[in-house]
Structure 1
Amino acid sequence: WHYDRSKPETYDELQRLEANGEISTSGPDAQAWLGVPLMLGERVMGLLAVQSYTPGSGYSDRDRELLTFISYQIANGLERQRAAAELKHAYADLERRVSERTLELSEQIEVREQIEQRLKHQVLHDSLTGLPNRAYLRDQLTRALAHRERDPDYCFAVLFMDLDRFKVINDSVGHLVGDVLLKEVAQRFSKCIRGGRDMVARLGGDEFAILMELDNPDGAMRMAQRVIEALREPVRVEGKELFTGVSVGIALGSPHYTSPEDLLRDADIAMYRAKSGGRHRFEVFDEELHDQALQLLETESDLRRGMTRHEFVPYFQPIVRLDDASIVGYEALMRWNHPERGVLAPGAFLHVAEASGNMEALDWQIFEHSMRMIPRLLAPGQYVNLNFSPRHFRSPDLDERFLQLIETTGVEPSQVRIEITEGALLENPEQIGQVFSRLRERGVHIALDDFGTGYSSLSYLHRFRMHTLKIDRSFVGDLRPEDEEGGSCAIVRAILALSRSQHMDVVAEGVETEAQRQGLLALGCELGQGYFFARPESLHTILSRRG
């Protein structure tokens, strides 16, 4: 825009704009005025104007071109300044957001690390006692073995500890009290160790372990003694005094160990030796125990193979009438036809079957074999006694499975009797009573074995309605007929009187001499079994003799 007072046409336009209020003036009147827009592309950013106060001077087209050029430079400069300000603001906003996000991420990382630490602690520690668990101990054992390999002078030991009588306590006062007991035991064990050099872990159940550094082997034995002494005093829980003890097995770190499992296994074996030797004591694993462990592993492997090959078979010992030795039934007894060691009695393998968890499966194999042999073994009116251990009665459907086996093999329920010990009645009497009732309804009789050696509770005889009592061999062996009041005569007489009052049969076990047979007859006992009449024999031997 160009206004000049010396040119009426432009001056009139200036007055009109001012009159309309579109422009306003201040200060002295200018003689000439030149303005150009500040343009950036198609966008108007403002106005650049110059004024002249000298009369007679104005602006030419070249002045307008020059001012237009200047306006472009100013507009570009302003745009660069604006862009720089926006960029600075954007950087500041980005830095602010980065700072906020960094703080947020830092808090999240801290929370995540805390969660990871808690999870790691949970994974590597026992939830009940807070002690390191088996996984943690295994990791530390691996480190100890690696240290031992690097430094042959480094010595350490593993102590495997198992509480004595814990199951009895747990079953009698409940699991909640048992848990409190375990917490107290963990605290007492923790006080026995040296901080920074030893660690105590809970492996599960009532099993604990200590990993300790040694200056000499005697240190492990002193630690074992401290652990045993720690449980001398009773644990008080809810007003009760609970007495427990601990059996400890020690395995000393030596070059032949290459894995944590080997160390724990040997310490466990030593612990079982301590427990079998009287409890509340410790044993150190040695070569003799090592040989026993190898033999145990070999026997377990043979046992598993023997199960698949059906090498376990029943041998039958007759139950006879004492007056004429006529056979009324048999007791099925397990034997192992070992391909290399010959026929083995249960004493040679029973502990291995129990420890490996195969005992129940073996029993059922014997039950099935015995039933399939019944048609060839029994004469009319005879029966076979099958031995059931307490573990079988932990299954609520025991009777269903047993009756199904009877049906499958095609024998009569009256041809099969269940024989149990008094200890089996104590674990779950309510459930056992229901199982017995259902079996009796189907015609299966129950015999109580080794009567007189356990609780011999009269209430059990009445409650479970036994069909037969078997007098334990210890009373028969101590029988002295010439002295009616001496030896075990009075006990046997009392058992016979009790059985008659309850209308139960009585079988005397372990009859080995004619004097014992005569003594039992004199007391009124009618049935017996033992080596005096026959040893347990295979079905093949029995049938061959009948020949």
Structure 2
Amino acid sequence: MSYEKLVLNKVTNQKDILIIDDTADNLRVLSSILTKQGYSVRKALNWQMALMACKTVLPDLILLDIMMPEVDGYEVCQRLKTLDITADIPVIFMSALGDVFDKVKAFGVGGVDYITKPFELEELVVRVQSQLALRTAQQEILNLNTKLEHKVKERTSELETSVNKLQQEMKRRKHLQSKLLEMALHDPLTKLPNRTLFIKKLEKALQRAKLESDYGFAVLFLDCDRFKIVNDSLGHFVGDELLIAIARRLQASLNPKDTLARFGGDEFAILLEKITDIRMAINAANAVLQQLSVAFQLSRHEVFINASIGIIWGESHYEQPEYLLRDADTAMYRAKALGKGRYHVFDPAMHQEAMQLLQLEHDLRIGVERKEFFVQYQPIVSLKTGRISGFEALVRWQHPVRGLIPPTVFVPIAEETGLIGAIDTWVLQSACYQLRIWQNHPKTETSLTMSVNLSAGLFSHLDIVTAVDKILDETQVNPACLQLEITESVIMENTETLKIILQQLKDRKIRLIMDDFGTGYSSLSYLHSFPFHALKIDKSFVRRMQENQQNMGLVPATIGIAHSMGMNAIAEGVETPEQLAQLRSMNCDLAQGYLFSKAVDPELALDLIAAVPQW
């Protein structure tokens, strides 16, 4: 075991599990299940990623899918068993293949267990626990055997005790597994079919579609919007009551021959059989949405809830029912992304997008470790003097293969994965160090400012005030020269906590700017509650100023709002002299854009400062 692995186990006391599966949704579901059980979970899409993961941190257990392109699970297992570092790691195969030959082959290449998909949550957890317990016991036995060379008589009883405990534990685990395999095929809360029964019916429908050319079916995958808010605010008892009511409402909107199942949480699936085209599935989805649009009258509360629905037509080319569910789930998430409370029909391109997104998430984690990011700086110009008053720090990701990836692509992924804290903190630190260097230059004004964007995810992943204090102390930058830009979306979440954070930053003389003002819907109702110093006008409004007089009205209105509240107005995206003249006539305070300069490296920014340009 590597030194890093020993340190990791000592600090976290977590068992590390590596999941190897080329299906993004399988990785997401398995990772979620095992993470909730307290395990440290990593993911790999193929053999190359799996080998890199093992070399980085040696896992305690590997969950390995059989059906993978290029290098299948059997070959992956054989390769792992030939390597000294991975030869002893237990491998549990996962596959929808349930034939005895497949299981024998799995054990023949070195697997220690075999889980047939679809698997039950409890069965998966128990099998993982069993193999981890077995591996731990085996390691204990090896240690005992080493010591037996010198103290055979003293350690014999201990070895027998350990073996006996292991045998008893294995018997208990096998007994529990037997019980789990006999579990009912219905959800205990709603009494609907569960995932296992649904997949069995879906498998039969798929087989029938392969045999009968005139047989059609479709799957609807449904996830309730805002259910977590109801559950967290009103309690799990009300949440369970609502789930039961939703199940009954869904049943009322379907035909008796259709199958409705609860997959767990607030997820439901519907199998529509003997339908002729996708329009019938769309009509069913509309009927479901119509049913859910009416308020739920619960015992003590009236609750409104809606759902996002993914639709997949039952094409006969699908090899496994799980693939149909995967694509229906992908379509459901697209419906959520488009605004929720709607349906979306699966397009094959969506699966490829999901795979690319997963790969990008993996690359982003590596990029943070390898420091593949850099910062460029765009000047901010005072429209009163025409000179540079400061710079905005803009992060860039230089991917080693894909080249330059824009922040609009990787920042949302960083926020979702929790990597945004490390990225934003690094950008803030780099920008402050750079500002200190510039301010020490003889041709630079000491009042030069530095603007840094803070992503929404940073406020939930990090103690931002403490982080800012530490950076200011390290860089010795005057807080009055630091400007933090925050988007409207941030103030919509946990506003009371945010007020406290922003006030603490203001108390340190740091200037606060609301970025992209006017692109959201909450600006005016929330603006007076927060201690902002300036509003940044989104470039889309600046771009439309010259199109017609109605569009121009948005910019002077925003400038007027800012000035009426004692704030400055900053226009971004200024590209033409005409736009600059218009902004000056409206008494806009500051501006930035390609008319002045694009974002440049620190050295070019210093040359720009030294040139003392004036617009």
TM-score relative to the length of structure 1 = 0.65
Give the aligned residue type for 1:422: E
* C-alpha distance 393-158 of structure 1, shift in aligned 2 (>3 A): same
Q: Which residue of 2 aligns with 1:477?
A: 543
Output the CA distance in 1 between the equivalents of 2:537 and 2:331.
37
Q: Write the mapping of 1:120-519 to structure 2, written as runs, cut at 5 A.
A: 125=187, 129=190, 131=192, 136-137=194-195, 140-141=198-199, 144-145=202-203, 152-153=210-211, 157-164=218-225, 180-193=241-254, 198-204=259-265, 206-211=266-271, 218=278, 220-221=281-282, 223-236=284-297, 240=302, 242=304, 244-250=306-312, 252=314, 256-258=318-320, 260=322, 262-277=323-338, 279-377=340-438, 379=444, 380-394=446-460, 397-455=463-521, 460-479=526-545, 486-519=549-582
Cα distance, 1:456 vs. partner? 5.7
Output the CA distance in 2 between the equivalents of 1:387 and 1:180.
43
Q: Write the mapping of 1:38-53 to structure 2, written as runs, cut at 5 A.
A: none
Give the aligned residue type for 1:244: N
Is 1:523 aligned to 2:586, yes or no? yes
Aligned residues of 1:250 and 1:282 also touching (Cα < 8 A)? no
Larger Rg: 1
* C-alpha distance 183-391 of structure 1, shift in aligned 2 (>3 A): farther
Give the aligned residue type for 2:541: F
Aligned residues of 1:325 and 1:533 also touching (Cα < 8 A)? no
Output the CA distance in 2 between the equivalents of 1:192 and 1:460.
41
Cα distance, 1:337 vs. partner? 0.7
* C-alpha distance 144-498 of structure 1, shift in aligned 2 (>3 A): closer
Output the CA distance in 2 between the equivalents of 1:301 and 1:239.
43
Aligned residues of 1:433 and 1:464 also touching (Cα < 8 A)? yes
Per the alignment, in what secondary structure is the counterpart of residue 584 of structure 2? helix
* C-alpha distance 184-344 of structure 1, shift in aligned 2 (>3 A): same
Q: What's the RMSD between the two structures over aligned residues? A: 4.0
Q: Which residue of 1 aligns with 2:110?
A: none
> How many pairs align?
423
Output the CA distance in 1 between the equivalents of 2:277 and 2:379.
56
* C-alpha distance 351-395 of structure 1, shift in aligned 2 (>3 A): closer
* C-alpha distance 195-307 of structure 1, shift in aligned 2 (>3 A): farther
Q: Which residue of 2 aligns with 1:21?
A: none
Q: Which residue of 2 aligns with 1:93?
A: none
Output the CA distance in 2 between the equivalents of 1:477 and 1:151.
54
* C-alpha distance 289-447 of structure 1, shift in aligned 2 (>3 A): same
Q: Write the mapping of 1:23-102 to structure 2, written as runs, cut at 5 A.
A: none
Q: Which residue of 1 aligns with 2:80?
A: none
Per the alignment, in what secondary structure is the counterpart of residue 535 of structure 2? strand
Cα distance, 1:384 vs. partner? 2.0
Per the alignment, in what secondary structure is the counterpart of residue 423 of structure 1? helix
Cα distance, 1:522 vs. partner? 1.3
Aligned residues of 1:328 and 1:381 also touching (Cα < 8 A)? yes
Q: Which residue of 2 aligns with 1:30?
A: none
Per the alignment, in what secondary structure is the counterpart of residue 519 of structure 2? coil
Aligned residues of 2:221 and 2:328 also touching (Cα < 8 A)? yes
Output the CA distance in 2 between the equivalents of 1:254 and 1:365.
50
Instruction: Tell me the alpha carbon deviations over residues 300-346 of structure 1, each in whole angstroms, 9 at most, x when there is no partner.
Output: 23222222222233322221112454221222223211222322212
Aligned residues of 2:421 and 2:462 also touching (Cα < 8 A)? no
Aligned residues of 2:415 and 2:456 also touching (Cα < 8 A)? no
Cα distance, 1:517 vs. partner? 1.0
* C-alpha distance 454-309 of structure 1, shift in aligned 2 (>3 A): same
Instruction: Tell me the alpha carbon deviations over residues 64-110 of structure 1, each in whole angstroms, 9 at most, x when there is no partner.
Output: xxxxxxxxxxxxxxxxxxxxxxxxxxxxxxxxxxxxxxxxxxxxxxx
* C-alpha distance 144-167 of structure 1, shift in aligned 2 (>3 A): closer
Cα distance, 1:446 vs. partner? 1.1
Output the CA distance in 1 between the equivalents of 2:525 and 2:198.
54
Structure 2: any 5+ residue segments left out of the alignment? 1-175, 611-615
Output the CA distance in 1 between the equivalents of 2:436 and 2:186.
58
The share of aligned pairs that are identical, in percent, is 36
Cα distance, 1:432 vs. partner? 0.9
Cα distance, 1:447 vs. partner? 0.9
Cα distance, 1:197 vs. partner? 6.0
Output the CA distance in 1 between the equivalents of 2:488 and 2:551.
20
